[in-house]
Structure 1
Amino acid sequence: MFIDKGNLSQEETCYIVKGIDTGSIIVDIKLKYGSDSLVLNIPDSISVDIFEPNEASPLADPLAAFLNALDAMDGSAFTSGSTPKSVAIAVPDETRPLPIKLFLPVLIERILKTFPSLKVEDISIVVGGGLHPPADSAQLQRILPSSLLDGSCPCKIVCHDAKNSPMTYFGETSRGTPVEVNAAIGTADLKIVMGMIDVHQFVGFTGGSKGVAIGCASARMITANHKMLAKEGASAANIESNPVRQDLNEAGELIGVNLAINVVLDASKKPVIVLAGKPVDVMKAGAVETARIYGLKMKEPYDIVIASCGGNPKDICLYQAQKGLTPAAQACKEGGKILILAECSQGIGDDVYHDYVKQFPCPHALMKAFQSSEFRMGAHKAFLFARVTTKKEVVFHTALDEKALSECLLKKGEAQATLNQWIKELKSPRIAVLKNANSSFFSSNE
């Protein structure tokens, strides 16, 4: 067996070689699954390539780096003009592992120090999740620092609801997207967005103004933007000629997002770099580092691809886990087999997607209906699943029950048993293992 160990530390070694009673050798591969891990074993007679993020050194002091990033920017967001009457800070929901609890209290303190006459009650924290359900009290406990929840720092907390929250309208982008975002941030004098920069299957990269232009946007705006997902250039890691990303950048300008604070995380969810400044500039700078860490290369597609979404929160629900299918499909040959490891502790994750997909008898029927109908958010996720499952065999190892997965036109299987059967069927398959599929992409072939 050929295994590329890559940049694993001694503590993170994901495989060991051991003898068994038959005298043959197997390799144990440890992969993230939910908040824990799952171990798969493969005979050493099988060719296996392990793809994992490139080496990245986490920040020794993330908070100091955060303050340095604020000090290093041009300062216009904090110092130009008069004291704002209101400030809004958009933060992501729990599907994005941004260290909000660490950074947010310091940011609020910096704002109040910069504008002494501003009252803390005039600062709003908008928890934006796009079309995800609004954060409930339990989620807020997991997302926000306790000082914002126990009243000791009485900022306003707004849980964005893309369908029901009051919106502020800013006109349309040049591509016709109506720009309307949660009024709590839309009407604020100073608009700040916090987020992480990650590869995105059709936006290119997250970050910049996306945390407002999608995270705090209306359902109508999100739908108009995302319907461009099938257009040329709407692909992972592309930002220069990507119509979806360019539309978001333009929307951010119309909204008037003053400041973006973004981080890039390593595979252990530790900050590698903190950036602050104009949204587009921050996104582009962070995209370079994200691509360096998570950009992968391969020589040729594989017979079998085993993909871990990267554990919680990347596999928190099926809706999020779908993102791991994109690089897995890139790595898998036509007619090949893909095994996805995704716990999905919060279930399917989107009722619109679930209601749409379960209408169809098979992925082929879904593809035909989607392509001949008006674009619908939620339904687009079913399309993204189907465009892979119509060409390759996909099996999920997940906590979701078989009935729910079947309604989503997906197949459930126990990981080791599925892998054993595939190896038996294919005799000597070439196998790829993707350790952090939701954050990875294949940039080009070697």
Structure 2
Amino acid sequence: MDITLKYGHSKKTLVFPDQAEVDVLEPTSLPLIEDLAEAMDGALDRPLQLPRLEERAAPASVSIAVPDETRPFPTKTLLPLLLARLHRAYPSLRPEDVTIVVGGGLHPPHDREALERILPEEVLADYTVVPHDAKRAPMTDYGNTSRGTPVFVNKAFADGDMKIVMGLLDPHQFAGFTGGAKGMAVGCAGAKTIQGNHALMFHEKAQAGVREGNPVREDLNEMGRMAGVYLAVNVVLDKNKQVVGLWAGNPEAVLAAGAEVCASVYGVTIEHQYDIVIASCGGHPKDICLYQAQKGLNLSSRAAEPGGKILLLASCGQGIGDEDYFEYVCRFDEPVEVFEDFKQNGFRMGAHKAFLFSRTLNAFEVAVATELDQSVLGSCMMTKADPQERIDSWLKSFEGRVRVGVVPNANATYFTLASGGGSGE
């Protein structure tokens, strides 16, 4: 049996012998939205829990948050459609009145070359574009959320009279789902804000697919209200990064509607856990760096038997992806040491990613097929492997039939057991 999986900008084909009982754990397919222009106009004609743009007083200025290149959001298609609608709705609104903030949270701010990869030429030429810098950008302070998270937002976004967020609605390993105001509340937020929010990830309901009662997600929603995010434009993509859902409106209403569709695509029920799990992050940009690929490792681990084996396919063409994480993880030799440090010193950004990696590394045997050097990967307490060689080796270590789960879209697919007993770590 041959299975081809995405890997960076290319693919890898893996061969499984007859002794392997292989299940491909794929997202559910939904009909594609063929005409995005029509879908965008339709969503803005019937915004969720908001009046149409044309029924609202013209804003003096507009700020729009869009994702950075680690997210496969179709910015080049959808942003011009939104801008055109804004200018039709408000003839007095000039391009110089619109600021576009490329929100990447704690990711390094995009340079000109990266901006050209995600934004149309005419947008870069006519509009003010600000790459977000969580550590150095001027911030507006909105106070603290009810959970104590300080809310600092990039001033370029906060200064907009009308604030709009565009982005993906995806499963998230501890926020439940992305989307809604998250493109501002993390994407355009200060480092202290992101740290305060992510420190809530240890709650029992802070997990993929859980929205109600999830403190991380509810904290993000509250930040959106505090900062006055007016409109969200969110999409759900299928496994091939094609749009299957598009909504516009009040951020929390968009989140609720989109999460239902997202769960129907990426929430997968399994009858049992697997001896071996082969997980592809889904190719570029989901495996653009190790920092992003961690999501695929975490979510796919929920399909593995405790103590099972996980092979992660993650090209990581841009390396580790976060200096704070790498500097921190290099201090340790074993996952248990990360746990102990967390107990003693508390939550810190970058360190939290080491904790998430270590939680999986401590519970499973993990190998990574990647472009990263073994010396670098070894500093992260992981082992590089040729994918076919490692699969063959693992299969030989079992007697009789071996249950293998293949996850082609590991960064977004999350699992529950049919018995309702939960799964994974």
Would you call these one fold, judging by a TM-score over 0.5?
Answer: yes
Is structure 2 residue 212 aligned with structure 1 residue 237? no
Select 1:52's aligned residue among 26, 31, 39: 26
Which of 81, 101, 120 is the aligned partner of 2:76?
A: 101
Instruction: Name 2:328's counterpart in structure 1.
Output: 356
Confirm whether residue 34 of structure 1 aligns to residue 8 of structure 2. Answer: yes
State the AA in 2 paired with 1:64. E
1:104-153 deviations in Å (ceiling 9; x for gaps): 1121121112111222101000000000000111110111011022x2xx
For 1:332, the equivalent position in structure 2 comes to 304
Larger displacement relative to structure 2 (112-121 or 277-286): 112-121
CA distance in 2, matches of 1:57, 1:117: 38
Within a 5 Å distance, the mapping from 1:99-138 to structure 2 comes to 99-138=74-113
Equivalent residue of 1:258, what SS? Answer: strand
Q: What is the CA distance between 1:80 and its match in structure 2? A: 5.3
User: Who is 1:303 aligned against?
Assistant: 275
| 3-state SS of paired residue (2:165) | strand
Match in the other structure for 1:445: 418
SS at 2:372's partner residue?
Answer: coil
Correspondence 1:414 to 2:389: no
> One-letter code of the match for 1:371?
K
Contact 1:363-1:390 at 8 Å conserved across structures: yes
Following TM superposition, by how much is the alpha carbon of 1:75 offset from its aligned partner in structure 2, in angstroms?
5.2
Name the aligned partner's letter for residue 41 of structure 1: V
Deviates more, 1:121-130 or 1:318-327: 318-327
Which residue does the alignment assign to 2:364? 392
The CA deviation at 1:441 is: 0.3
Q: How does 1:240-389 map to 2 (within 5 A)?
A: 240-389=212-361
Distance 1:337 1:81 in 2: 55
| AA matched with 1:435 | P
Partner SS, residue 143 of structure 2: strand
Q: What CA distance in whole angstroms lies between the structure 1 residues aligned with 2:133 and 2:62?
A: 19
8 Å CA contact 2:44–2:52 kept in 1: the answer is no
Q: In structure 2, what is the Cα distance between the partners aligned to 1:338 and 1:61? A: 39
Deviations along 1:324-368, whole A, 9 cap, x unmatched?
112221111111100000000111100000000000011111121
The offset of 1:443, in angstroms, is 3.2
Q: For residue 374 of structure 1, report the CA deviation from its aligned partner.
A: 2.3
Q: Report the 3-state secondary structure (helix = DSSP H, G, I; strand = E; otherwise coil) of the residue aligned with 1:68.
A: helix
Instruction: Report the counterpart of residue 432 of structure 1 in structure 2.
Output: 405
Q: Unaligned regions of 5+ residues in structure 1, if any?
A: 1-26
Secondary structure at 2:11 match in 1 = strand
Aligned equivalents of 1:342, 1:219: Cα separation in 2: 27
Q: Structure 1, residues 155-179: CA drift from partner, whole Å, max 9, x if none? A: 1100000000011111111001111
The separation in 2 between residues aligned to 1:201 and 1:99, in whole angstroms, is 22
Q: Distance in 2 between matches of 1:235 and 1:372?
A: 24
Report the alpha carbon displacement of residue 65 of structure 1 after superposing the two structures with TM. 0.6
Number of residues of Structure 1 aligned to a counterpart in Structure 2: 417
2-structure distance, mates of 1:215, 1:92: 7
Q: Which stretches of structure 1, 4 residues or longer, exceed 2 Å deviation after superposition?
A: 74-83, 443-446
- 1 CA distance for matches of 2:417 and 2:222? 29
Which letter maps to 1:179?
V
Q: Distance in 2 between matches of 1:417 and 1:393?
A: 15
In the superposition, the TM-score normalised over structure 1's length comes to 0.92
2:423 corresponds in structure 1 to none
CA contact (8 A) 1:395 1:411 kept: yes
Contact preservation (8 Å) 2:175, 2:207: yes
In 2, distance between residues paired with 1:251 and 1:193? 13
TM-superposed deviation, 1:278: 0.3
2:120: which partner in 1? 145
Whether 1:223 and 2:198 are equivalent positions in the alignment is no
Question: Structure 1: how far apart are the matches of 2:104 and 2:344?
Answer: 29
RMSD across aligned positions (CA): 1.2
- Distance in 1 between the 2:19 and 2:379 partners? 37
Distance 1:77 1:249 in 2: 22
CA distance in 2, matches of 1:325, 1:234: 17
The answer to whether residue 144 in structure 2 is matched with residue 172 in structure 1 is yes
Mark the runs of 5 or more structure 2 residues left unpaired by the alignment.
420-425
